[in-house]
Amino acid sequence: MTTSLKDRAPPRPAKLTRNQDLVLACLTHATTPLSAYALLDRLREEGLKAPAQIYRALEKLTALGLVHRLESLNAFAACEDLNHHRGCGTSQDSALVVLFMICRRCGLAREVSDPSLSAALAALCAAEQFQGEQHAIEIQGVCRNCAETAESGGA
């Protein structure tokens, strides 16, 4: 079972800058992934004025495994699974695959991981003599809430 960042503050390295801390907090409290420009809009009142400030913070937070970049959305989400915080699928020594289920209706992006999926993908890479460097899979579809709303005649 995963521990949600919305329920518990993420472990933060002692050396996060103010901008990195602001960006991480904003992503932690967001209900959907945010683009860099959406982050900038939300953080202007905190003194962040330039896209470069956001991108530098996101680059470091991603490298630390605290934030994920969702390629298909060109957006970012805070890591939700504190159990695989080390590496979080971004470093070569981290074999845990992170999977995102992204609802194309409401924008919810649920982060999950499964050791058996990670093992299967590691075996596939080994069989192909391929050294994976980033371990994230994105699946687009419809979440349970949106599916139930559609079935009950809602939007």
Give 42-84 pLDDT, tens digit per residue.
999 999 999 999 999 999 999 888 999 999 999 999 998 755 5
Q: Name every residue whose Cβ is closer than 8 Å to that of residue 132 and which is 6 or more positions away in sequence.
A: 92, 121, 125
Contact (Cβ atoms closer than 8 angstroms) between residue 116 and residue 123: no
Mean pLDDT of 117-129: 91
pLDDT at 113: 87
Q: Does the pTM of the predicted model rise above 0.75?
A: yes
Q: Locate all alpha helices (DSSP H) within 9-143, ordered by sequence.
A: 18-29, 36-43, 51-63, 115-127
- Contact (Cβ atoms closer than 8 angstroms) between residue 5 and residue 28: yes
- Whether residue 118 is predicted with pLDDT greater than 90 in this model: the reply is no
What are 112's strand-pairing partners?
99
Least confidently predicted of 3-12, 21-30, 45-54: 3-12
**Top-tier CATH class for 18-151:** mainly alpha
In whole angstroms, give the CA distance from residue 122 to residue 19: 35
Residues 6+ positions from 85 with CB-CB distance below 8 Å? 10, 11, 65, 66, 79
When pLDDT is cut at 50, 70 and 90, the band that residue 37 belongs to is very high
pLDDT value at residue 134: 73
Q: Can you give the residue ranges of every domain in the chain?
A: 18-151
